Amino acid sequence: MTAYDCDLFVIGGGSGGVRCARIAAGHGARVAVAEERYWGGTCVNVGCVPKKLMVMASEYGAAAEDSHGFGWDTRPGRHDWATLIANKDKEIARLNAIYLKMLDGAGCTVFETRATLLDAHTLQVGNERVTSKYVVIATGGHPIRPTFPGGELCIVSDDAFHLKSMPAHVTIIGGGYIAIEFAGIFAGLGLKVDLVMRQKLPLRGFDEDLREAMAEALEAQGIRLYAGKTIASLQQDGPAFTLHLADGEMIETGLVFAAIGRVPNTQGLGLDRAGVDTDGFGGVRANNEYRTSADNIFAIGDVLDKLELTPVAIAEGHSLADRLFGPGPRRWELNAVATAVFSTPPLATVGLTEAEAAARGPADIYLSRFTPMRHTLSGRKRRTLMKLVVDQASQRVVGAHMLGEDAAEIMQGLSIAINSGATKADFDRTVGIHPTAAEEFVTMRTRTRVAGEPAQKAAE
């Protein structure tokens, strides 16, 4: 029997890789982990965590204004970007240390350097060569930098978390969740914000009602939308930038932020030497058990062309470690994973969109739009949208969607109900908590419309 230096080698110290390593070590495996950049991966360092801290920072100015309707004479102060970044960096450093401490406590061998594959069982780790029975690729992804003329002048999301100062005017390219979230952050901090996107509506792939509501919410914040537009080039003149659109329109701005997508972080890992197949974008091909074309090599997280969400990567890593070294994989429900966009206001969703449900058969749609209680006094032009998508035949609630305050917190509970097969009748007989926005999900009694083919026509 071949003797390996370790049982499991994890390339990547993000949330998924660290969870996989810790669980495997807990099962008695000899585990090593290599991370060349920062512990905690994108989420902890240049993603979910610092972004949400920035979202929180951006809300205080509006809260000061909203307080006037409640009798306060609060006056918004001047935001200091440098203070926010410094305090954010302290928190991230604390979290980095926690990740390292968890790995050390689990008995893992840690390499703070780059690891590449020499063959299916051999890795070059800094100046060392290490062999392992199993290898897990958990290197995550990175933002795409634009290729149009002058594209190198743009910043991307990684850069945004480390800017020393902010101009008065920012132009964001893109209509996905990163673009939408940062548009809200910058607008909330008092900057003038433009959003240039190829689609007519933001958030392609989300429910159409949510997309329309989000466009309205962005404009209500004073964010100028350039919908259905593409970029021709970008020029810089001193501190100023001129963004040329393909239709001849120009935007003068102080900073251009490109949020046009992400790609797997697999370049130069030696995947070809190990016999690991990838797609045309560098994504690792793997089956439902995360096994790649190399029998002993697995992949989890954003290197896969699946759900690019931190909790999903954690679930994949945990499940894989249990399968390889434990009693068997823990069951995770990945068919209807709840997700949120921490926009202003936030958006959250779980399950099928109306269009997806209608493609499977008739679906009953329940939709509610209203001014949330807070803004009946604040006077802020902000509306909440809530929507349930119900399979007409079974009456199971197959989708829930919300735009409005606390959407993510509310959707977490709804995801349990939907993943448990709750029906519309189950929602209807649930007593709501009053007065809350969340109670609207259990008091929507009147069907708004039917999506897809009517039931009687489908039966013919």
In a domain, 333, yes or no: no
CATH number at residue 350: 3.30.390.30
Q: Are 34 and 19 contained in the same domain?
A: yes
30 with 126, same domain: the answer is yes
Distance CA 1, CA 122 (A): 16
One domain for residues 10 and 129: yes
Same domain, 110 and 171: no
pLDDT of residue 203: 98
Tell me which residue range forms the domain holding 385.
339-458
Q: What is the pTM of this model?
A: 0.95
Using pLDDT thresholds of 50, 70 and 90, give the confidence band for residue 335. Answer: confident
Q: In this structure, are 157 and 119 located in the same domain?
A: no
One domain, residues 230 and 284: no
Helices 15-26, 81-106: axis angle to 10 degrees equals: 20
* 138 and 12, same domain (yes or no): yes
Is residue 362 scored above 80 in pLDDT?
yes
Number of domains in the chain: 3
- Domain with 281 in it: what CATH number? 3.50.50.60
320, 136 Cβ separation under 8 angstroms: yes
Q: How confident is the model at residue 331 (pLDDT cuts 50, 70, 90)?
A: confident
Write out the catalytic residue numbers.
Answer: 434
What's the sign of the alpha-carbon dihedral 261, 266, 267, 271? negative
The pLDDT > 90 percentage for the chain reads 94
Q: Which residues contact 393 (CB under 8 A, 6 or more apart)?
A: 361, 362, 455
Burial per residue of 72-88, b for 16 or more beta-carbon CB atoms within 10 angstroms, e otherwise: eeeeeeebeeeebbeeb
Phi and psi, residue 433, nearest 5°: -95, 120
The rounded mean pLDDT for the chain is 95
**Phi-psi map region of 190: left, alpha, beta (phi>0 left; psi -120 to 50 alpha):** left
Q: Answer with the one of 325, 352, 372 that is the final residue of a domain.
A: 325
The answer to the question of residue 382 being in a domain is yes
- Residue 283 forms part of a structural domain: yes
